[in-house]
Copies of this chain bind each other. A is one copy, B any other.
Amino acid sequence: MTLPGRGPRGYRELAEHLARQIRDGIYPAGQRLPSELALQQTYDLARNTVRKAVEELEYQGLVVVQRGYGAVVAIEQEKQRVIVPAGTVVSGRMPTLTEAYEWGLPRGIPMLIATGPDGTVIQALPADRFEIVTE
């Protein structure tokens, strides 16, 4: 039962509340968050508001939302190290729609871009599966 004035108000507070619970291990990696309906009832918020909060977590890469199933706490993946020559410039940006589709990327995963000293793009890789190291 939720008392008025208690608990997180608005989607930001709910997002922070849930993020804290995830960090505290209340929802371990791989586990589902409560459903939108459950959250809605628990915190006495509209479903739209709950959805906005979960969207925040998704944007931060904390959860992956699967339609018809639920919002799953993100699992830290084993990252493949890509070796690039010295002088390589590494930058980052969000994926284009095409890249997101090609790599099957969930939201909240940026791309790592490796470019040569002259500016030519060497590689564009999703940051949830790769990291770049120079030697």
Contacts and interface: CB of A to CB of B under 8 A. Distances in A.
A112 interface: yes
Interface residues of A, number: 32
Contact of A90 (B97, B111, B131): B131
A79 B93 CA distance: 13
Interface stretch (A2-10, A29-37, A64-72, A81-89): A81-89
A127 B91 contact: yes
A24 interface: no
Interface in A74-119: 79, 81, 86-97, 107-112
Given A59-B94, A87-B135, A94-B110, 5 more contacts: A59-B59, A81-B89, A86-B135, A90-B112, A94-B108
